[in-house]
Amino acid sequence: MDRLWPLFQPITIGGLEIRNRTVMAPMVTNYCGTDGAPTSRLMEYLGARARGGVGLVVVEASYVRPDGKGFRNELGIHNDDLIPALQELTRRVHEEGSKISVQLFHAGRQTSSAVTGEQPLAPSPLADPSSGEVPRELTTAEVTALEDAFAAAARRAQAAGFDAVEVHGAHGYLVNQFLSPFSNRRTDEYGGNTHNRVRFAANIVRKVRRAVGEGYPIFVRLSADEYVPGGITLSEARMIAAYLEEAGADALSVSAGNYASPGLIIIPTMDLDPGLFVPLAAGVKQAVSLPVIAVGRLHDPLLAAQVIAQGSADMVALGRALLTDPDWVRKAEQGDVDDIKPCISCNQACIANLLTGQAISCLLNPACGREQELAVRPAGERRRVVVVGGGPAGLEAARVAAERGHSVTLFEEHMRLGGEFAIAAFTPRKEELSDALRWMIRAVRSAGVDVRTGERATAERVLQERPDAVIVATGGRPKAADVAGLRAERTHLAREVLMGAVAPGRRVLVAGGGGVGLATAELLAQGDRQVTIVEQLEAVGADLSADRRYWLLADLVDHNVGILTRTSIRGASDGGVLVSHDGHEERLGPFDDVVVALGYDADTSLQRQLESRVAKVYAIGDAVEPRSAVEAIREGAEVALRI
């Protein structure tokens, strides 16, 4: 606890006293109505994080005009009719002891006509890097009107009870588009040199100040490095920060990137180092006298505390970490660091959901955004529950059922718990899966689950427990390669390689270019093997999110891994493999070994054997259909809450 004390010192910004140095970073949730109105779902979600002890809640990007809407179910602050509902939102957060700010936002070109109903707007008519849609260039008069829209939104925020506002000047949205030479090619007073490009942001700050008066904090969020050719770098970000301080900003929140940045670095995945943006925050802090907020994979309380203790920033912003564990701050303050459910920066249910138009969730916390619906409450009657399978689905089901008061026995045929999670943790840059797995196993044991490892749960063995309910989480069976001529002794399943059960020779063919095949190829290539991947689909990594796929493919390229798409294996002989590639047959190789990563088939055998012999039998995860751990863990929680 002594090492964490910097996190829990109060701070005053622009007259606003905040109880500690933690900020809930603004993340669009898609929990709102299509009209931008906040919902009870959003209020429960924010209230849970405030109740967990966070100092300042910054509510998600909220559009100041309908043409600036970036997501279909994003929060709006564009008309006065929203003020009563926003007042209820701020009341909920204040009741939990947190201060609350709202992020004022206009998407600019980083939206689409499908969302806004009209052609997107931007400082210059340059195509959006994600959608390719070309925006309409704003006139000078329209720019002035947009400045006024931000000021009007700030007035609404103040009337709704928000303690502060934050101008979103980062991540490639409209304010950032004006700031950056990457997106601003104007020749009027809003384009050209840094002084002109910062004019839009500085005018917004000044107009907001006139709207809200003195003593009301104005924060600005910046991308201090866009990581794109011709974009903002730290040296210019320091100049921009100084201009914004002069304009009247009270604090700066320092992030990075835009939609064109490599691997969607705005929300860095587990492929990237923790705290990777801290040097940017420290660099900006040296250029101004304002408080600075750091962000970017600061999920470890000790790292977050070090950032403040070393003077790199005055506060730390937590986004995904608070999705995973709303009580992160309270647990850290009480010294229960090991009890914090760890965010592993997988982006599978938060960012991936957001970018596909869905409500955000969390791989490890399916109750994110469903706080009431998936709350763990005592069961009406204590039951005997058997869970078969110790992967993520089974572990979640066992924990939730036990915490509700049921008597739970968990069978896992292997000596080690974790299932596919444990295997995936062996692959490069996914070691943090082990952190999640350790938490899940610790929580299962703390809940009092009777864990039986190394014991195969046949139907007869399960029935010996006289269960009232059985949850089948046996996962899937790896598909084998049915190829004539492949020598069995030189053909291995990917999981065997990942677990170290076999050691392929120097020349390896990986059959299957999904996430498992790519990760296996990467591990082998890092072990100085010559690796070729063959995949029947148009592209490899189709089951991966775009950000994780980017970093994985970059490493495969660095290690000279060969990749053939639209290719199927036809046969094998004399150490070589016959393939059909784009309709033409050819021979690859020779190879010392073939590694098979062709996916899984659901294992439904136990469920079928038990259905007529136990009152309640539930199948979850890959035992239903092979999918991601997101569905597996969610189904584990949902089923355990029904018993």
What is the number of structural domains in the chain? 3
| Residues 105 and 212 placed together within one structural domain of the fold | yes
Q: Domain containing 469 — which CATH number?
A: 3.40.50.720
| Residues 272 and 183 placed together within one structural domain of the fold | yes
Cis? peptide before 590, omega within 30° of 0:
yes
Assigned token pair, 312: 């790199």
Q: How far apart are CA 574 and CA 163, in angstroms?
A: 73
| Residues 571 and 631 placed together within one structural domain of the fold | no
First to last CA, the chain: 39
Assigned token pair, 641: 């809450």
H-assigned helices in 290-432? 301-309, 320-324, 328-333, 351-355, 392-403, 419-424
Please tell me the pTM assigned to this model: 0.95
**pLDDT confidence of residue 487:** 72
| Residues 328 and 234 placed together within one structural domain of the fold | yes
Bridge partner list, 167: 104, 220
Q: Are 252 and 219 in contact (CB under 8 A)?
A: yes
* DSSP per position, 578-597: EEEETTEEEEE---SEEEE-
Q: How far apart are CA 614 and CA 162, in angstroms?
A: 54
Bridge partner list, 410: 387, 451
Active site residues: 173
**pLDDT confidence of residue 1:** 60
The burial of 521, by beta-carbon neighbours within 10 Å (0-12 exposed, 13-18 middle, 19 or more buried), is given as: buried
Assigned token pair, 67: 């043409």
**pLDDT confidence of residue 61:** 98
Q: Are 617 and 375 in contact (CB under 8 A)?
A: no
Domain holding 499, by residue range, is 488-598
Spans of the chain below 70 pLDDT: 1, 488-489
Q: What share of the chain is helix, strand, coil (3-state, %, to 5)?
A: 35, 20, 45
Q: SS3 letters for 25-82?
A: CCCCCCCCCCCCCCCHHHHHHHHHHHHCCCCEEEEEEEECCHHHCCCCCCCECCCHHH
Domain membership flag for residue 609: yes
Bridge partner list, 568: 580
| Residues 79 and 51 placed together within one structural domain of the fold | yes
Report pLDDT digits (tens) over 172-202.
999 999 999 999 999 999 999 999 999 999 9
| Residues 196 and 245 placed together within one structural domain of the fold | yes
| Residues 262 and 297 placed together within one structural domain of the fold | yes
Residue type, 476: G
**pLDDT confidence of residue 357:** 94
**pLDDT confidence of residue 26:** 98
| Residues 331 and 402 placed together within one structural domain of the fold | no
Calculate ∠ Cα 335-340-344, nearest 5°.
Answer: 140
| Residues 403 and 492 placed together within one structural domain of the fold | no
Report pLDDT digits (tens) over 79-91.
999 999 999 999 9
Q: What is the bridge-based pairing of β-strands 567-573 and 576-581?
A: antiparallel
